[in-house]
Structure 1
């Protein structure tokens, strides 16, 4: 039984990984979680921790392959995977407690309690420590599932709740079928099917208040090995964007460039400023682009509104720099394990203002949400921007460090989720792809190929109506923590009361 549980945990983690890009087989998220539930049957508290951690590592290690590519060392992938897997290990202890005794004998109670604990631990790992790492959040795997229609009502928390609830029913169905309790199995299947397909009747996407024509440019990042001794990689990226912008069709009202469009600060670099002025003056409309500023020995990652007259009319600084990627906490300590910590030479500081930018167009003011790169995974950052008046979501990103991995496709699914969740058109604009447009009903348009130069012009709708998830995102988070915390205490009490042999 012990070896079966280990195999089930590994298979479950791999199944959950397969629900995300590059495979993107969304039903496997339900199968993966169901396998975890089954693997935990009859385990001790330590055995539950082991099974949960094993499941988590089998899920996160292949999901985070881009961490190895970006850093050049496999220890980055292993370290990040272990850190995230420990959350599932801790959650599994609580699950074990809830599955014991009278509470666990009622499948209805299991299907209500286990999902609440899952989403509470998921939100915790997405916020702590160092701001957390929400990559791999269960709800993001469901962008092609009927469950995604729950996003406007409860964000990733409600979608994840339903995934786990259906998984609990699936595990119960298999268990009762093996025990030849076919009536119970049929009831479990019926309830699971109802939970899965009932959201199909929920509407998606409100009517647009107005429309604008937006351009977005994917300029490509050069291979550093191909550059001459006098060529700057940062300037070459900007030059490529300028050239691609010249091929932009139509007459856009505003043009969006990606994150890191100019790693040289155009406020202090004449070369960078001249290139951006060239593009902006040729367009005659606002150009919104990613750049850096360098106060002292640190830097900010910014998205700025560049006007045709050469002035910057607004800027947003990334609020959640990625630890160990954009800044290095406890550098002296971690240098004892790897010198890869020195790859981060200039630490990024966190901005303090919401991800909202006002862009003055010819005949109106456009307000956009501008979560930079990984911030699209941050529920509260995006929701705060939408509550702040954003009519359109723009996700500038630089995926050049992640090679041919699925990182950009995983991120694009998050952009798709946010478009549905907030009832806003969303545009992801990347240095190297994937770039594209997502409508509030989840339909994608103008999707680019990775690692190709591209420039697109598209008519996009602007919307002001707030979804329930946007309006009450903070209360949903607080409620999740309260419910998850209370159930965790109950689960731990049950662990003590109903001790099982160590296995």
Structure 2
């Protein structure tokens, strides 16, 4: 059992190393193979413990940035909660192992659990999905065909097929010899499926072009506290936009400001309102302002506001996925904490419900705010309603000295590939960038600097296969996982001894 736990811990660390800052994505299938080997031939309870060990090693490491930016208590609480999901997968391994083609069933369960933890509890936590590690690899292009969910499934399947192949080559292993070429052929087939789009990428047809300016106004030192300098932050974005308006040459079609470029309500604070109007007048085109807007005494809205030089504020997008214990306190009526970083959350942030794109300078723009980009529904729904261009307004100031900003930017690049769209990111102090539909970073600003990126981007209304499939991959894999657990549970119970202990026949030994 100790050896199994050590293998699970090493595999969890390997999966963490697949993501930024180490970013060795080729470790993903090896980590999943290690998980499958570590939980093989264990009882349900022991497999759950080993799976939990994997989750602890992976998630506590993967979101280490939370400890450094938000606080140790939040890091421990969230990491522990997320590790439980991997323990749950471990509990199901002995059941699914009873089924033919168990790697398929286990990959479906892994993918389904990723979907569950991305939406529950509260607003969920999508960080750590296998597909998020795929940027800058030959398999990244496949996300346009498979979606993030489908890519996670096939990456998991590759790892579990690798484990099946290893098991057949072990001396005295249980699987019959004829299963060896099946596992090998399956692995080769999955890898070929994932790599093929790199040779034949899905390219959406452009319907036009636009020039977009993304403003990174920067934050005064210590660079990780917007609220301490919120007025200066707004002035920085105003000044940068005014300078842009004075530059010779053609003007952009619109300007994108980041989330929290105004950390107070721009409709109620006179100086903030005047600054925005001055910037919009100077540049002479719409500015998409990132503002925190009051919604009564108990709530606020995190919005992208289209501010026109003639008509003033108009269309708005409201952040759909506020972060629990970061932007709102669940069950505040029963428990209102007043300690640590939670003390700063005086009012809860409401979730937006908009699914249509913003109208900006005659362009249909799908907007997302910060962590929204990690959720499948935000961009997908707006794309299906005609979005021609993607924008992300983000304020990563709290994480500016951590690896979170790199992890989020990697996710953002994958969204560009998945959607087949150009994508423009504006951040308060990093990472601001312009991303092509193939994930290439066309332009970027150095973190903790003031910069304005002006780039011509393509527009398109064509939908990739991934976007057209919508939520169906998640539904299919969740349904498949549920069927597998039920059938595996039945098979598991049938193969137990009369006293209720697992059968220990030579072909189905349970390692304890």
1:374 matched residue in structure 2 = 371
**Deviation of 1:183 (Å):** 8.2
225, 231, 236: which is aligned to 1:235? 231
Instruction: Please say if 1:98 is aligned against 2:90.
Output: no
Report if the CA contact (8 A) 2:261-2:291 is conserved. Answer: yes
Instruction: Please say if 1:24 is aligned against 2:23.
Output: yes
2:282 matched residue in structure 1 = 282
The within-5 A match list for 1:58-97 is 58-71=57-70, 73-97=71-95
Instruction: Please say if 1:430 is aligned against 2:427.
Output: yes
1:309 matched residue in structure 2 = 310
Q: What TM-score, normalized by structure 1, do the two folds share?
A: 0.91
Report if the CA contact (8 A) 2:145-2:202 is conserved. Answer: no
**Deviation of 1:324 (Å):** 0.8
113, 128, 132: which is aligned to 1:140? 132
Deviations 1:432-482 (A, max 9, x none): 111212211122210222222111100100010012221221223322222
**Deviation of 1:296 (Å):** 1.5
2:465 matched residue in structure 1 = 468
Deviations 1:210-241 (A, max 9, x none): 101111011112236999xxx96111111111
Distance change >3 Å, CA 225–CA 36, structure 1 → 2: closer
**Deviation of 1:180 (Å):** 8.2
204, 207, 210: which is aligned to 1:206? 204
Report if the CA contact (8 A) 2:144-2:417 is conserved. Answer: yes
1:496 matched residue in structure 2 = 493
Report if the CA contact (8 A) 1:335-1:341 is conserved. Answer: no
Q: Distance in 2 between matches of 1:338 and 1:57?
A: 26
1:347 matched residue in structure 2 = 348
Comparing 263-272 and 471-480, the one that deviates more? 471-480
2:11 matched residue in structure 1 = 12
161, 171, 175: which is aligned to 2:167? 175
Report if the CA contact (8 A) 1:120-1:484 is conserved. Answer: yes
Instruction: Please say if 1:412 is aligned against 2:409.
Output: yes
Deviations 1:35-56 (A, max 9, x none): 1001001111111111111111
SS of aligned partner of 1:370:
strand
Deviations 1:251-296 (A, max 9, x none): 2111101111111221111100111112111110110121011122
Q: Which runs of 5+ in 1 are unaligned?
A: none
Report if the CA contact (8 A) 1:147-1:162 is conserved. Answer: no
Report if the CA contact (8 A) 1:355-1:381 is conserved. Answer: no
SS of aligned partner of 2:349:
coil
Q: What TM-score, normalized by structure 2, do the two folds share?
A: 0.89
**Deviation of 1:111 (Å):** 2.7
1:196 matched residue in structure 2 = 191
2:41 matched residue in structure 1 = 42
Report if the CA contact (8 A) 1:266-1:272 is conserved. Answer: yes
Q: Distance in 2 between matches of 1:347 and 1:355?
A: 24
Comparing 85-94 and 194-203, the one that deviates more? 194-203
Q: Distance in 2 between matches of 1:332 and 1:480?
A: 37
**Deviation of 1:70 (Å):** 3.2
Deviations 1:79-102 (A, max 9, x none): 1011111111111211221113xx
Q: Distance in 1 between matches of 2:492 and 2:369?
A: 42
Q: Distance in 1 between matches of 2:129 and 2:402?
A: 18
Deviations 1:109-147 (A, max 9, x none): 123211111111110111122131111111111122232
**Deviation of 1:164 (Å):** 0.9
Q: Which runs of 5+ in 2 are unaligned?
A: 496-500, 503-509
Instruction: Please say if 1:451 is aligned against 2:452.
Output: no
**Deviation of 1:319 (Å):** 1.6
Distance change >3 Å, CA 333–CA 226, structure 1 → 2: closer
Report if the CA contact (8 A) 2:422-2:437 is conserved. Answer: yes
SS of aligned partner of 1:291:
strand
